[in-house]
Structure formats: structure tokens, C-alpha cells
Structure 1
Amino acid sequence: MYFAALLARTEDGWEASDTELDNVETLSDLAELAREASTEDDTVLVLIEQEDAWFGVVRVDGEEDPRIYVSDAAAAARSSYGEILLTDELLGRDPGVDDVVDLDALDLDGTEDGESDDNEPDNDPDSDDDRPGTSAEAVPHSPVGDPLILDDLGVGEKELRVLDADDALNAIAEALGASEVLETVR
């Protein structure tokens, strides 16, 4: 089960709104949605969680590039909402590298140069492959992004990293003094 909310900082405190992410396909779409929630160029936080699996925070300050924190990149990668947050830059990889197949590097049998053409499964327990053609290192089972995303708002790096996915958004809202407004949209 997913939950997503926008917290917009105003002169009077935080305002929360429930948000539908069904029409959001990219991080740019999400940042635009966040900017629309603010009447000024104030801070807007997009809080996303998948129950007991992962949570993410996207911070948009005016027209600046969004800042992102995801508690468990591998868990988020298995989610359509998580995939929006997990940009190539955030994961530290070159854009589109996993999506491009160099046809010149393939032998006539379809294997890459120097690669075995046997079709036996890899039973090596130390293998990095979780899925065919991907590396477990590409999406780590750990937090990614800006751990200082909420530091100036009262949630430091240490506090952010130890939050449980099942209660993280409530803890963040409480630290911001926005737990009541978040609860109204939950």
C-alpha cells in the first residue's frame, strides 16, 4: 500500500495535501506538482511511502533542482513510484547505460565478446546478478540521495537513516511540527 502527501511550508506553518501520483511519470512532473502546491517559492516536501518497505522524501525549494532521499533503493526500484525517484544521477550511473546494447560487441550467436554461450543458469551464490542483465550494485539495498535533505528542518542525517519505513513519515512530520496536518490527509 502506498501513501503520498505534499507538505508545503507557509508563513503560518505547514499545509498538507493528499496527492495522486497516477499522472506523474518523471521526477520533473513530481517537482512541478510540488511547485504548484506552493503560493510562494517556499519549501515543499513530497513524502512517499510503501508500507513496511521504503520511504522517500523529495524536497523542492522554489525553482531549484529537487533534492531526493530514498530509504532503500532496491525496494523502491520494484515500485513504480520509487522508479520516479531513482534517477541515474541519484544512483551514480551514466544515463541510459543499462538500456543500451552495443550490437557491435555481440558475437554471431548473440553473446557478448568473451562471454560463454552456455545457457546454464548461474548458480554462484556470490553472483551480483539479481535479474538477467542487471547488477545488484546498480541499485543498492541501502539509502540513496541527500541524507541532509531535512537537516535545516530538524531531522538530521542520523535520525533520517534510522527511521523505520513503517513510521518514517509520521516521525518526519512530528519533527517538522506538521504531524496534525499530515494526519488529516492520511
Structure 2
Amino acid sequence: MYFAALLARTEDGWEASDLELDDVESLSDLIDLARSAAVDDDTVVALIEQEDAWFGVVRVDGEEDPRYYVSNASMANRSSYGSMLTKELLGDEEEVDDLDDLDLDGTEDGEDEPVSAFADEDDDEDRGVAGAGSEPVPAGPLGDPRLLEDLGVGNKELMSLESDALSEIADSLGATEVLEAVR
């Protein structure tokens, strides 16, 4: 089960809104929702948590590039919303273009697919490897642990959070009451 919320910084503190993950099909959707929640292009922090297994933070500051942090990338990679973050952080976003639609592996003329000499290649996913030729997904934190530093959550503090991490982040930001109101 997921919990997700947006915290938007205002002149008077933080405003929280429940983040409907049903409306989020991609990381772009999440970023768009965060930007739409911003007050005067100020900071918005999207918080996502899956049952104390992992949490993720996405920070959006106006039109700047978003910044990301995931507490446990290998656990997050096993869930649909967490995998969006880990793929972005590992640079594993698949780009679709005309060549990707073609099967150019030498089998397009009805030949059999080549057989791999390495029997374990198909087991890459079981070993935590995101895919052929990509980086392994680490069993720990991934991303920018300093993304909340100027807001009162230092990198060491963020990296040491485990259960109830979102409440501790909200407490450090001074947003506990508004976060609990949407929880």
C-alpha cells in the first residue's frame, strides 16, 4: 500500500495535498502534478512511501530540473511507482523512436533467434540488475541525499531514516500538522 502527498511551500509555511497515484502513470505526470501545486513557483516536495519498505522524495523548484531520492532502490524497483524513480536515477529511461520499433537483431528474415552462450543472462532480474547492459540496482539509497538540506533535513539524517520516514521529514520541515491532515 502506498501513501503519497505533495507539500508546497508558501509564504505562510507548507500546504499539503493528497497525491492520487491513480492519476500518475509516469514520472512526467508526477512532476506536472508537483508543478501545478506550486505557489508562485516555490518549492514542492512529493513524498511517496510503500509500507515502510522504501520511501521516495521528489523535489521540484519552479522550472528547474527535479531532484530525486529513494531510500532503498532495490525495494523501490520492485514496485511500479518506485521503479519510475529508480529508472530515472539510473538513467534507464527507454526512449522510443522509429528504430526501437524494428527488430534488427538478424532474425527479421525468419531466422531463429541466437542462443546465448551464458545460461545465467536471463537471471539478471533476479540478481537486481535492471536489464542487459544497465547498472545494478543498489540495495540502499539512490539519488541526491542533499535535496532537502536547505529545508532542514541533512543528507545523513535523510539516509538514516527508516520507518515513519515521511513523518520525520515533515517534522523537520515544520509540516507535520498539514501532512497528518491528508494522511
- TM-score above 0.5, yes or no: yes
Describe the superposition over 1:132-185 as per-residue Cα deviations: whole angstroms up to 9, x where unpaired: 983695322121111111010111110011000x21101100000111111111
Query: Cα gap change, 1:94/1:76 in structure 2, threshold over 3 Å: closer, same or farther?
Result: closer
Structure-1 residue corresponding to 2:137: 139
Partner of 2:28: 28
2:178 pairs with 1:181: yes
Change (3 A) 1:34 1:83: same
Give the C-alpha shift of residue 23 in structure 1.
Answer: 1.7
The separation in 2 between residues aligned to 1:35 and 1:152, in whole angstroms, is 19
2: CA distance between counterparts of 1:56 and 1:161? Answer: 11
AA aligned to 1:174 is D
1:1-186 to 2 correspondences below 5 Å: 1-88=1-88, 90-93=89-92, 95=94, 103-104=105-106, 109-112=112-115, 115-116=116-117, 122=120, 130=126, 134=131, 137-164=135-162, 166-186=163-183
Q: Distance in 2 between matches of 1:39 and 1:92?
A: 30
Q: Is the 8 A contact 1:7 1:46 kept in 2?
A: yes
The structure 1 segments of at least 4 consecutive aligned residues displaced by more than 4 Å after TM superposition are: 92-96
3-state DSSP of counterpart to 2:106: helix
Q: Using the alignment, how far apart are the partners of 1:41 and 1:139 within structure 2?
A: 33
Structure 1 vs Structure 2 CA RMSD? 2.8
Q: Distance in 2 between matches of 1:36 and 1:71?
A: 25
Whichever structure has more helix as a proportion of its residues is: 2
Please state whether the residue corresponding to 1:104 is helix, strand or coil.
coil
Q: What stretches of structure 1 of length at least 5 have no aligned partner?
A: none
**Distance in 1 separating the partners of 2:125 and 2:20:** 34
* TM-score, normalising length: structure 1: 0.80
**Structure 1 residue 21: deviation in Å?**
1.2
Q: How far apart, CA to CA, are the structure 1 residues paired with 2:85 and 2:130?
A: 21
| Contact 1:128-1:137 at 8 Å conserved across structures | no
Aligned length: 172
Pick closer, same or farther for the CA change 1:175–1:40 going to 2, 3 Å.
same
Assess if the C-alpha contact under 8 Å between 1:25 and 1:84 holds in 2.
no
Equivalent residues of 1:74, 1:141 under 8 A apart: yes
Q: Secondary structure at the match of 2:178?
A: helix
Check conservation: 2:26, 2:84, Cα contact below 8 A: yes
